[in-house]
Chains A and B, each alone.
Chain A
Amino acid sequence: AQSVAQPEDQVNVAEGNPLTVKCTYSVSGNPYLFWYVQYPNRGLQFLLKYITGDNLVKGSYGFEAEFNKSQTSFHLKKPSALVSDSALYFCAVRGAFSGGYNKLIFGAGTRLAVHP
């Protein structure tokens, strides 16, 4: 079965410092991995995805994520955090060979708080 774990409920970081939001996954076969961001009372916004290829994936708003197959991780990173990055971040996974229309499985979410 597919699953995603986000071990941190909340991450606090000072503005201008680098940030990391952790995600580990479990899936049969090669994973398709995603990060989404959710602002209060808003829908989830797609940030980036990993399918295959380079382990470092670049996405929207200066975010990037590093795929590590041996550690089954897909941590979200940003070199310099902004106060406006404060939001709820969800990691998600789907199996690459589980059908053309299978759902995404989401992690529990990590709340990122960037302090001025």
Chain B
Amino acid sequence: AAGVIQSPRHLIKEKRETATLKCYPIPRHDTVYWYQQGPGQDPQFLISFYEKMQSDKGSIPDRFSAQQFSDYHSELNMSSLELGDSALYFCASSLALGRDSAGELFFGEGSRLTVL
């Protein structure tokens, strides 16, 4: 079965540089989520999109932005990178609640960002 695809899997950037992460959700899933997981921490919700519109916003820094495109893929753009941005970034997708779904999220393998 198709899963959530994230790219790149690994990314190394210098401070103050810009990075873009991509996510391709499971086909027919209408909701995409971005989470950030620091070393030894639980995943922290950043932002989500439902049918290409931002649906919820968490602890996403102002330096970060995201969007979902017409083909449902999503991109997380991170600018003015800081050392503390080094983390695993997960994308997840789901069907919305009420569409034969409890809204369980299915996660990609993550993109590991290292900021030097």
Contact = CB atoms under 8 A, between A and B. Distances in A.
Contacts of A96: 97
Given A100-B98, A105-B45, A41 B112 contact: yes
A44 B97 CA distance: 20
A101 to B, nearest CB: 4
A80 to B, nearest CB: 26
B85 interface: no
Contacts of B104: 34, 46, 49
B99 to A, nearest CB: 8
A105 B4 CA distance: 20
B31 interface: yes
B95 to A, nearest CB: 9
A108 B42 contact: yes
Interface of B: 4, 30-31, 33, 41-43, 45, 48, 50, 55-56, 58, 88, 90, 92, 94, 96-99, 102-110, 112
